[in-house]
C-alpha cells in the first residue's frame, strides 16, 4: 500500500503549523562534539537545501549547537525561508569554550538565548521554542521547571516566541508547565531500544501534543540489533530506515527529526517514510526493547 508523503502530516495543537511527520534534526551539522563550524560547510548547506526541496518542513535546531554555527548554516542555506517551514529551537543551555553543556536558565540567559536564535536564524519571532532541561545526561530529572517556563511565557507575551515546547522532561514537569503556558510539543529521548516514554506518548497523543524523539537512531551510540538487521534484510532496506519506519508507526503524534550531515543518509532517512512494515515486522521490532530495556 502506498505510504503518505513523508509520513503524513501533523498540526501542532492550537497553532497554524502543519508539518510532515518526517522532519530533520540539524545538530549533526555542527563540528565534532556538536562544537564549532560544520566539517564540510558546503555539504551542510546541501543537506539543508535538499531536505527542504524534498518536502521537509520541520527543522529542529538550537543556537547552542556550534554554538551559533548550526543556526547560521540554516540561515545561509534557506533564508528567506519558504512558506510553511517550521523551525523549532531550544533554550536552556550554553556551551562554554571548554565545550561542556551547561544550564543557562536565568531570565537574562533565556532572553539573550532567544535573541541569539532570532539573530542567527534571521527571524523576528521563533516559531516554537522548547525549554530544554539540562541535567546530568540525556534523561529527565525531577524538579520544578516553573521559573524558566514562566520566563518563556513572558517572552511569548512579548511576541518573541510564538509557541512553547519542552525537552528532557518528566510527566510531572509537563503538567506543571501546562499550568503556566500552552505546550505544543515534547522532545525526549526515545527509539526502538529506549522506550521509557511509552506511556507518556499515549498521554500526549490524547492531548494532541507532538512527541518528537531525540536520538531516534540512537544518537551518539547508533542503534545496533541483530533483529533490526534481520528485518531490514528481509525488507531490502537499511536498518536505520526500519528504525525510522517503526517510529512513524508507533503513534500518530510522533514527529521524526533524524540527524545527519550526509546527503546519502538524508535520502535514506526520507525514503524510510515509504517503507511498509507488517504487523509481524512491528511485533518483531517491539521485541528489541524487551531485550534492551532494563528499568
Ligand atoms: N532535545 C535534546 O536534548 C536533543 C538531544 C539530541 C538531539 N536532539 C535533536 O534531535 C535530532 C536527532 O538526534 P541526533 O542527530 O543526535 O541523533 P540520531 O538522529 O539518532 O542519529 C544521528 C547519528 O546517526 C547517523 N545517521 C543518520 N542517518 C543515518 C543513516 N541513514 N544510516 C547510518 N547512520 C545515520 C548520523 O551520522 P551522519 O551525520 O554520518 O549521517 C549521526 O551520527 C538532532 O539532530 C537534534 O536536532 C535534541
How many domains is the chain partitioned into structurally? 1
CA 15/CA 264 separation, integer angstroms: 33
> What spacing in Å lies between the alpha carbon of 157 and ligand 1's midpoint?
33
CA 122 to ligand 1 centroid distance, Å: 24
pLDDT of res. 292: 58
CA 232 to chain centre: 24
**Ligand 1 pocket check for 218: Cβ under 6 Å:** yes
Count of CA atoms in the C-beta half-sphere (13 A) of 103: 11
Confirm whether 198 is domain-assigned.
yes
Q: How many CB atoms lie within 10 A of CB 263?
A: 14
Of 225, 241, 233, nearest to 287 by C-alpha is 225
260, burial (CB in 10 Å: exposed 0-12, middle 13-18, buried 19+): buried
Ligand 1 proximity of 269 Cβ (cutoff 6 Å): yes
What local confidence, expressed as pLDDT, does residue 230 receive?
Answer: 97
For residue 218, the CA-to-ligand 1 centroid distance in Å is 7
Residue 137: predicted pLDDT? 76
pLDDT tens digits, one per residue of 222-242: 999 999 999 999 999 999 999
Within a domain: 201: yes
243 lies in a domain? no
In a domain, 268, yes or no: no
pLDDT of residue 235: 97
**What ligand 1 atom has the least distance to the C-alpha of 262?**
41
Task: Please report whether residue 292 resides in a domain.
Answer: no
Is the CB of 258 inside a 6 Å radius of any atom of ligand 1? Answer: yes
Domain that holds residue 145: 11-223+252-262
Interacting residues of 40 by C-beta distance below 8 A, sequence separation 6+: 261
67, 26 contact by CB (below 8 A)? no
Q: pLDDT (tens digit, 9 = 90+) per residue, 197-207?
A: 999 999 999 99
Task: Choose, from 65, 81, 190, 211, the residue flagged as catalytic.
Answer: 65
Residue 285 lies in a domain: no
Does residue 233 form part of some domain? no
Q: Give the closest residue (by CA) to ligand 1 atom 17.
A: 219
Answer yes or no: is the C-beta of 265 below 6 A from any ligand 1 atom: yes
Q: What is the pLDDT of residue 295?
A: 36
Residue 117 in any domain: the answer is yes
What is the distance in A from the centroid of ligand 1 to the CA of 28? 6
pLDDT < 50 regions, the chain: 293-295
Distances (CA, A) of 26 to 74, 87, 139, 242: 8, 10, 20, 21
- Kindly give the number of the ligand 1 atom that is closest to the alpha carbon of 167: 1
CATH code at 56? 3.20.20.100
Is residue 24 annotated as a catalytic residue, yes or no?
Answer: no
Amino acid at each position: 500500500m502506498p505510504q503518505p508523503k513523508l509520513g503524513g502530516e501533523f498540526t501542532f495543537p492550537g497553532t497554524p503549523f502543519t508539518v510532515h511527520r518526517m522532519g530533520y534534526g540539524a545538530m549533526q551539522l555542527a563540528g565534532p562534539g556538536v562544537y564549532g563550524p560544520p566539517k564540510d560547510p558546503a555539504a551542510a548547506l546541501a543537506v539543508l537545501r535538499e531536505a527542504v526541496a524534498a518536502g521537509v518542513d520541520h527543522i529542529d535546531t538550537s543556537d547552542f549547537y556550534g554554538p551559533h554555527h548550526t543556526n547560521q548554516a540554516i540561515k545561509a542555506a534557506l533564508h528567506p525561508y519558504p512558506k510553511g517551514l517550521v523551525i523549532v529551537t531550544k533554550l536552556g543551555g550554553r556551551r562554554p569554550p571548554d565545550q561542556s553543556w551547561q544550564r543557562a536558565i536565568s531570565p537574562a540567559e533565556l532572553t539573550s538565548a532567544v535573541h541569539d536564535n532570532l539573530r542567527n536564524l534571521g527571524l523576528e519571532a521563533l516559531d516554537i521554542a522548547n525549554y530544554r532541561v539540562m541535567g546530568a545526561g540525556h534523561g529527565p530529572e525531577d524538579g520544578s521547571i516553573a521559573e524558566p517556563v514562566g520566563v518563556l511565557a513572558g517572552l511569548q507575551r512579548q511576541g518573541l516566541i510564538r509557541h512553547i515546547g519542552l525537552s528532557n522532561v518528566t510527566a510531572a514537569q509537563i503538567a506543571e508547565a501546562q499550568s503556566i503556558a500552552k505546550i505544543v510539543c515534547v522532545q525526549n529521548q526515545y527509539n526502538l531500544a529506549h522506550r521509557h516514554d511509552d506511556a507518556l506518548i499515549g498521554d500526549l497523543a490524547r492531548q494532541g501534543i507532538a512527541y518528537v524523539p531525540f536520538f531516534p537512531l540512537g544518537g551518539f551510540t547508533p542503534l545496533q540489533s541483530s533483529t533490526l538487521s534481520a528485518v531490514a534484510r528481509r525488507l531490502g532496506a537499511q536498518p536505520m530506515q526500519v528504525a525510522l519506519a517503526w517510529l512513524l508507526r508507533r503513534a500518530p503524534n510522533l514527529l521524526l527529526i533524524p540527524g545527519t550531515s550526509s546527503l546519502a543518509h538524508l535520502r535514506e532517512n526520507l525514503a524510510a517514510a515509504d517503507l511498509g512494515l507488517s504487523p509481524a515486522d512491528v511485533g518483531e521490532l517491539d521485541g528489541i526493547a524487551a531485550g534492551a530495556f532494563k528499568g
